[in-house]
Amino acid sequence: GAGVSQSPSNKVTEKGKDVELRCDPISGHTALYWYRQSLGQGLEFLIYFQGNSAPDKSGLPSDRFSAERTGGSVSTLTIQRTQQEDSAVYLCASSLGVSETQYFGPGTRLLVL
Amino acid sequence: GQQLNQSPQSMFIQEGEDVSMNCTSSSIFNTWLWYKQEPGEGPVLLIALYKAGELTSNGRLTAQFGITRKDSFLNISASIPSDVGIYFCAGQWKGAQKLVFGQGTRLTINP
């Protein structure tokens, strides 16, 4: 079946602009996660959803970052007033339920000029 | 954010050699995971470990959950060209959903 998909695959934006990153989880997966991967680094947790609720958003770096999930499916990560330090790969993962294996999408590569 | 200490950062080996990498943490984890990431892709789960002392194999890969619950290692035997990539360890605390990742080990193989 289809895996986790993310769009766009690449995004170049100017400093100060807002961006929206989309994640389509595996069908039937109730949990959805966002991670950020800076160049040459490991993944850093941002937020996770169980259904449409976000029990843990402790990893969001600032109030410029927000995320929502609708219909227990698609999620959007929004970064407002982007800064150059926001440049990274943003990875989404989903799992069948809590504490189940997390399956990752290919990521969105964001470059802020 | 908190990360695990993963070493080595990179390895350059000959095809056929065995590989070993490890992760340590100041925290006790309930679960240890090993992922592989190839260029342009997201990480793919290789091995999951759930009990202290557990030793698990997946083909040529073997991983162990340290007895102190603060470390784990991954071994790859008889490396082949398709083993090239970045290997990440990840830990998960009991009751938590997020994964805490190491910095990765970049594996390069000379044929």
The pLDDT assigned to A100 comes to: 86
What pLDDT score does B1 carry?
53
When pLDDT is averaged across residues B77-100 and rounded to a whole number, the result is 93
Chain A residues closer than 8 Å to B103 by CB: 40-42
Query: Which residues on neighbouring strands pair with residue A76, listed in sequence order?
Result: A22, A68
Cβ–Cβ below 8 Å for A104 and B97: no
| CB B10 within 8 Å of CB B103 | no
**3-state DSSP assignment of residue B42:** coil
d(CA B63, CA B44): 15
Average pLDDT over residues B13-32: 95
Beta-carbon separation of B42 and A4 below 8 A: yes
pLDDT for B96: 84
Where are the extended beta strands (E) located within chain A? 5-7, 10-13, 19-24, 31-37, 43-50, 53-56, 65-69, 75-79, 88-95, 103-104, 108-112
State residue B2's pLDDT score. 58
Tens of pLDDT along chain A (113 residues)? Answer: 589 999 999 999 999 999 999 999 999 999 999 999 998 788 999 999 999 999 999 999 999 999 999 998 999 999 999 999 999 999 999 999 877 889 999 999 999 99
Residue B30 backbone phi and psi in degrees, to 5: -90, -25
pLDDT in tens, A8-20: 999 999 999 999 9
The alpha carbon of residue B42 is apart from the nearest alpha carbon of chain A, in Å, by 4
Paired tokens of A1: 């079946």
Rounded CA separation B17/A24 (Å): 39
Q: CB pairs below 8 Å between A and B: how many? A: 63
